[in-house]
């Protein structure tokens, strides 16, 4: 099967046979008033690198444009518009185009598409590829973020799906792969209903997912997020949720194999200072360090799977909890490497529900659960394991911890 035939079938499957697959001309009447000018019979005066978005003559089909390495923008009244990948900022240009049409989708071609600097999505826009190992968006420019939410107004209903988000790394400074920025707007421009389908982040030397303190994403859904060859050893965490608010945010599967190539340090995986997060599974290898560090907010994790390949340093704890706000961690597997503690309670921690971990090929050096600071006296925490698993640095700190390993009596 040829490349064009494959793309035609893939597009048909993903669009349900809508008119975007048609070969009809894309004429001036199909464009928004402030859209790109139609091509004329005059000789072009721009270089290939400056080629505009073309509407006349039209491409014979979406599959042809994508097979030629160009992007395709689809929006209300556009049908489709081919956007040259030779432009300096083809992804941003295509998103701007569908935004002017009232929203729409931008399709990345197979292979690598380069965008000079950060991509800033608009409300009701989506960026799609043909698979995490098929389409790649390469962000160029030292220190640049990848996807940055700082447009005026609320960037609701943005989708990223089916591609690799490649950073300017691996040997130089980068921004965050995805960054929710506090713009200082009043009211705050809190994005809602942001969706990640399948996204693969590589070569970022900062957080992969960064939420500033003054912005609160809510109702955001992330089905599959993978981060390899990323080094957040110099950052707070790979997923750095600094916001103090924002309900109903969900991650399905998070997988990471970080590196210490840039910082020389372990990468912490999740840091949370507020909001509401639910995560089904986090699985890490590489040079991963602490998996969860939480100071406030609500957090539910189904499973943490820790299997580092190399450890620049042994983590003091795999899960460190402080402050109140319900935390429930249902399963922890220490499958390789070593940790000093699995759970650490400190800084007036409370409202935690923790279950006894599985230590497979990994080692726990000090204690499964250790209290390293005073607990909150009124917010109880529960550990479903043995009292032998617990170590206390200060005896006065244990008042609100309940160890449940001996509770109840079997019925036969």
**Binned average pLDDT, 10 residues per bin, the chain of 412 residues:** 43 40 31 39 44 44 89 89 96 97 96 98 96 97 95 89 95 96 80 96 98 94 98 98 96 98 97 97 98 97 98 97 96 98 95 94 95 91 94 74 77 64
How far is C-alpha 131 from the geometric centre of its chain's CA atoms?
16
Closest CA to 319 of 301, 337, 307: 301
Residue 35 lies in a domain: no
Expressed as residue numbers, the domain containing 359 is 64-403
Give residue 11's pLDDT. Answer: 46
Residue 411 lies in a domain: no
Residue 95 lies in a domain: yes
Q: In 33-45, which positions are buried (b, 16+ CB within 10 angstroms) versus exposed (e)?
A: eebbebeeeeeee
C-alpha to C-alpha distance for 344 and 318, rounded to whole angstroms? 8
Q: How far is CA 162 from CA 108, 127, 198, 224, 386, in A?
A: 9, 9, 5, 10, 44
Q: Looking at 129-215, which runs of residues are DSSP E strands?
A: 135-140, 147-149, 159-161, 163-166, 178-180, 195-202, 209-211
Q: How far is CA 135 from CA 111, 160, 361, in A?
A: 5, 12, 36
Residue 98 lies in a domain: yes
Residue 5 lies in a domain: no
Residue 34 lies in a domain: no
Give residue 21's pLDDT. Answer: 30
C-alpha to C-alpha distance for 186 and 86, rounded to whole angstroms? 38
Residue 56 lies in a domain: no
The residues near 107 (Cβ < 8 Å, ≥ 6 apart) are 11, 62, 66, 71, 72, 73, 74, 128, 129
Nearest-Å Rg of the Cα atoms of the chain is 24
C-alpha to C-alpha distance for 219 and 300, rounded to whole angstroms? 15
As for how many domains the chain has, the answer is 1
C-alpha to C-alpha distance for 278 and 373, rounded to whole angstroms? 26
How far is C-alpha 300 from the geometric centre of its chain's CA atoms?
17
C-alpha to C-alpha distance for 209 and 51, rounded to whole angstroms? 33
Instruction: Quote the pTM value.
Output: 0.86
Q: Tell me the three-class secondary structure of 75-87, residue by residue.
A: ECCCCCEEECCCC
Residue 215 lies in a domain: yes
**CATH number of the structural domain spanning residue 146:** 2.160.20
Give residue 35's pLDDT. Answer: 41
């Amino acid at each position: 099967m040829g490349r064009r035939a494959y793309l035609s079938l893939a597009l048909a499957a993903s669009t349900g046979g809508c008119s975007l697959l048609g070969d009809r001309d894309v004429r001036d009447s199909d464009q928004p008033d402030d859209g790109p000018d139609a091509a004329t019979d005059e000789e072009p005066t721009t270089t290939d690198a400056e080629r505009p978005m073309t509407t006349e003559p039209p491409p014979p089909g979406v599959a042809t444009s994508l097979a030629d390495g160009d992007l395709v923008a689809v929006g209300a009244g556009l049908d489709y518009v081919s956007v040259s990948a030779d432009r300096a900022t083809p992804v941003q240009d295509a998103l701007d185009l569908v935004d002017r049409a009232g929203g729409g989708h931008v399709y990345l071609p197979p292979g690598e598409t380069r965008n000079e600097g950060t991509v800033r999505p608009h409300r009701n826009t989506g960026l799609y590829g043909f698979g995490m190992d098929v389409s790649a968006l390469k962000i160029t420019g030292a220190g640049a973020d990848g996807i940055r939410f700082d447009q005026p107004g609320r960037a609701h209903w943005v989708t990223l799906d089916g591609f690799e988000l490649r950073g300017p790394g691996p040997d130089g400074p980068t921004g965050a792969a995805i960054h929710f920025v506090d713009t200082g707007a009043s009211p705050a421009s809190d994005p809602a209903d942001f969706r990640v389908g399948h996204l693969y982040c590589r070569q970022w030397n900062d957080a992969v997912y960064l939420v500033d303190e003054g912005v609160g994403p809510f109702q955001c859904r992330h089905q599959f997020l993978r981060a390899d060859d990323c080094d957040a050893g110099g950052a707070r965490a790979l997923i750095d949720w600094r916001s103090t608010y924002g309900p109903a945010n969900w991650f399905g599967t998070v997988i990471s194999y970080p590196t210490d190539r840039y910082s020389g340090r372990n990468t912490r995986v999740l840091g949370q200072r507020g909001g509401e997060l639910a995560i089904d599974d986090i699985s890490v290898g590489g040079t991963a360090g602490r998996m969860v560090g939480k100071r406030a907010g609500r957090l539910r994790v189904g499973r943490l799977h820790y299997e580092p390949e190399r450890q620049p340093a042994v983590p003091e704890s795999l899960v460190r909890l402080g402050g109140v706000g319900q935390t429930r961690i249902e399963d922890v597997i220490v499958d390789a490497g070593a940790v000093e503690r699995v759970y650490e309670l400190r800084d007036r921690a409370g409202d935690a529900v923790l279950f006894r971990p599985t230590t497979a090929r990994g080692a726990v050096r000090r204690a499964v659960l250790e209290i390293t600071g005073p607990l909150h006296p009124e917010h109880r925490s529960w550990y479903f394991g043995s009292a032998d698993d617990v170590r206390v640095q200060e005896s006065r700190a244990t008042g609100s911890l309940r160890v449940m390993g001996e509770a109840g009596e079997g019925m036969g």
